[in-house]
Amino acid sequence: MQHAMPRTRKRKSHTGLASALPWLIVGVEMGLVIVMLVAAIMGFGAVMFYSTGRVLPGVSSFGVSLGTLNVDDAAEKLRTAWMDGQPLVMRDGARTWRVSPQELGLQLDAVETALRAQRVGRGNDGLGAALGSVFGGYEVNPAITIDLAQARAGLESLVGQINIPAQNATIRIAGAEVEHVDAFPGRELDIERLLSDMALPEGAGVTFAEGVLDLPMIDTQPQITDAHALMAEAQRFVGQAFRVHAYDPFTDQKVVWTVDPDTFASWLAADLSDDGRQVILSLGHDGPAAYLESMKGTLGAGRTLEIEESVGAMQAALAAGQLDALVRVRSLPTQYTVQHGDTFMAIARQFGIPAVFLTEANPGVDPSNLHAGDVVNIPSRDIMLPLPIVPDKRIVIDIGDLRMYVYEKGELLKNWGTSTGIDSSPTLPGVFQIRTHEELAYASSWDLWMPHFMGVYEAAPGFMNGIHGLPKRGGHTLVWRDALGSYRTSYGCIILGLEEAEWLFNWAQEGVIVEIRD
């Protein structure tokens, strides 16, 4: 008879764990002993440094390790690091600029910073700071002073790099195409706020210690947000030719130069108005100036253009919405070789310049002692045309037939008899201008009252010859009535009837050309 064998449960063996446990305990105990020993050694070292007055281990300032140094050595190390020029990083988002602290008026007080480092663990912070410096390090904010005037000057020198100006809406002209350029906002450095923050106690020191200066910025907005009206105006000019009328007031001739559409379009640009409130179409400077410089040589000898004056005339024409500009041809100074029998008065009359101006142009020449072959300087005849030219109006006096002809836009308006100066006080031929208006002028030398007087040229300093109506001697006797168109009777002025003189006085504004022919 068979009997079943009883089942037995197998038990896990703890022999390995039991055998390892004592060694684990020993290891932990030994680790603790080592930590305590290291701490004791370091603590002993800290106590030693503490007692010697040296900076505790682990203490630093703006990244310069000062641990174990005495105050003098720490200060010297700080000075060296400062002189090496640790830069500050100024930051506006992703944009950065590196500057030296000195540029922002910052100076390090090395001794005070060293003393701050030496006081770590010895003041109110006590043992906690001491242990912190030993085990984890301790950063002392440097003692930094700031010169606010220098800081302001440094920041102002950088705003050109930092600031992003707001962009007004404008237009772009490319060939025959006109495009609208949208406006966008700008950013501007808030210097006052930054200086205020840096001037706070420890403000500059914290800034330098961190090495990064986040810039306070102000958002700015464009003044002009839409330029579609200007775009439409520009489209009116693009594809058009521009004409320059070079006018010579001495010959009464115009030369017309046509600027092709592509060249003209390349000169056009958008600009701000003087008050800054609107964007306007303008004519650039360099393109027109170069063009005029290339064309003035075609005017011939003795004639030229004043480039700046002429460019201004072209710009003014465009501003007025015109495609035609009148520019003034100028007369160049020249020289004259004296001929046998010449006098200063005769030379002056020949060139249409009063003798007084000829004398001024030749300070080393004796007018009463001229010799054939002498060279005389002749000033530019423009000296007789000091006012802006009035286009399309011209007064012509013919001394020979004693007539006055009045023209407007090339059309003869008036043809009157006149009288001019006698031989001993002649009327000077030349090209002049209406210079002054006086309802009733008085010539004391001859006791003559001259109605509707218009000054034309200065015959001598303080003595103006001009155009006027029949005068009255002593204020009551009308003289020279029979001389008009018949004979010369005045002392240099051009005489008209009373009605004619009044009409001309009202018609001829200052600047109108007066041409007197011999």
State the DSSP code for 386: -
| Residue 35 pLDDT | 47
Buried b (16+ CB within 10 A) or exposed e, 452-470: bbbbbbbbeeeebbbbbbb
How would you write the pLDDT of the chain (518 residues) with one tens digit per residue?
A: 344 334 444 444 444 444 545 544 545 455 554 545 545 545 555 555 556 789 999 899 888 899 999 999 999 999 888 877 678 888 999 999 998 888 888 888 999 989 999 998 887 665 555 565 555 688 888 888 888 899 999 999 999 999 999 998 888 888 778 889 899 999 999 999 988 888 877 766 666 767 788 899 999 999 889 988 888 888 888 889 999 999 999 999 999 999 999 999 999 988 887 777 788 888 999 999 999 999 999 999 999 999 999 999 999 999 999 999 999 999 999 999 999 999 999 999 999 999 999 999 999 899 999 999 999 999 999 999 999 999 899 999 999 999 999 999 999 999 999 999 999 999 999 999 999 999 999 998 889 999 999 999 998 888 899 999 999 998 888 999 999 999 999 999 999 999 999 999 999 999 999 999 98
Classified as helix, coil or strand, 466 is strand
Report strand pairing: 212-214 vs 88-92: parallel
Residues in the chain: 518
Q: Which structural domains are found in the chain, ordered by start?
A: 46-90+97-159 (no CATH), 231-331 (no CATH), 334-383 (3.10.350.10), 393-517 (2.40.440.10)
| Residue 12 pLDDT | 44
CB–CB of 250/241 below 8 Å? Answer: no
Q: How far apart are alpha carbons 496 and 476 in whole angstroms?
A: 18
Q: How far apart are alpha carbons 432 and 410 in whole angstroms?
A: 18
Residue 479 CA to chain centroid, in angstroms? Answer: 60
134 burial (CB, 10 Å; 0-12 / 13-18 / 19+) is buried
Report strand pairing: 324-331 vs 242-248: parallel
Q: How far apart are alpha carbons 366 and 370 in whole angstroms?
A: 7
| Residue 127 pLDDT | 56
Q: Which residues pair with 385 in a beta bridge?
A: none
CB–CB of 357/383 below 8 Å? Answer: yes
Q: How far apart are alpha carbons 159 and 465 in whole angstroms?
A: 60
| Residue 25 pLDDT | 55
Q: How far apart are alpha carbons 388 and 456 in whole angstroms?
A: 14
Residue 438 CA to chain centroid, in angstroms? Answer: 42
Query: What distance separates the 2 farthest-apart alpha carbons in the chain?
Result: 186
CB–CB of 84/36 below 8 Å? Answer: no
| Residue 234 pLDDT | 86
Six-digit token string for 410: 């090339």
Phi first, then psi: give them for residue 140, nearest 5 degrees: -100, 130
CB–CB of 457/430 below 8 Å? Answer: yes
Smallest CA-to-CA distance from 278 within 228, 236, 313, 220 is with 228
| Tokens 């030379």 found at | 347
Q: How far apart are alpha carbons 45 and 242 in whole angstroms?
A: 91
498 burial (CB, 10 Å; 0-12 / 13-18 / 19+) is middle
Angle between helices 307-319 and 286-295 (to 10 degrees): 120
Tell me the whole-structure pTM to 2 decimals: 0.65
Six-digit token string for 490: 């005045």
